[in-house]
Amino acid sequence: MNKIPTALLAFRIMAWITGVVLAVASVWALYGYLFLDYGLEGGKPLLYSILWIAHGWLYFAYLIAAVNLAFLLRFPIFKTLALLLAGTIPFASFYADYVMHRYVRSLPAKELPSKEASTQ
């Protein structure tokens, strides 16, 4: 059984949900700190805070999906860390999703590592 397509799909879903929430929260933060008084204590609306908290928990799900995929693909440590950090940088997770898909498509079917491991 090849687990990579499922892991890739799970990663794509989390990369997009986390990415959209992070992008909205970041643009909102930029606007709030530049033009409104978000720098002051109690200056932020509730929804704004909830969005950032949501990003924290979504990022946790993103981590699980990303680690799972990185393990299946036998990623070295720094590549894995880069993949994990992509969920914390605005818009980086969309790029990570694109790169991961391109990478998996480029693999010859017989070289998919998890296939090799499961047909021992």
Partner 1 sequence: MRQSSDLASRAKTPASILAVLALIGVCVLFFFLGKWQWDRTQDILDAERAATFAAVSVAEIQQPMNSKDFGRSVSAVGKFIDQDQVRIGSRFSPDSISGDWIVSAFELSSGQRVAVVRGWVPKGGSFSTPVSQVTVEGVLHPSESFYDFGGDQSGEVVVIDSQQLSELWNTELLDGFIVIQSQVPLDSGAPLFVPPTISTADVAFPLQNFFYAIQWWVFALFAVAIYIRWLVFGSKLRA
* From 2, 5, 33, 57, residue interacting with partner 1 (rule: CB under 8 A): 57
Amino acid residing at 119: T
Q: Which two tokens stand for residue 24?
A: 């909205």
Amino acid residing at 33: Y
Q: List the x/- string, 64-83, binding to partner 1 by CB under 8 A.
A: x--x---x------------
4 touches partner 1 (CB under 8 A):
no
3-class DSSP state for residue 117?
helix
Contact 22, 93 (CB under 8 A): yes
* From 34, 41, 78, 109, residue interacting with partner 1 (rule: CB under 8 A): 41
Which range, of 4-12, 39-47, 89-97, 104-112, touches partner 1 by CB under 8 A? 39-47
Which range, of 4-12, 16-24, 55-63, 104-112, touches partner 1 by CB under 8 A? 55-63
Alpha carbon distance 112, 110 (integer Å)? 6
Minimal CA–CA distance to 61: which of 21, 20, 11?
A: 11
Of the pair 43, 98, the CB lying nearest partner 1 is at 43
Q: Count CB atoms within 10 A of the CB of residue 9.
A: 12
Kindly list the residues in this chain that would bind partner 1 in the complex (CB under 8 A): 41-42, 44, 46, 49-50, 52-53, 56-57, 60, 63-64, 67, 71, 117, 120
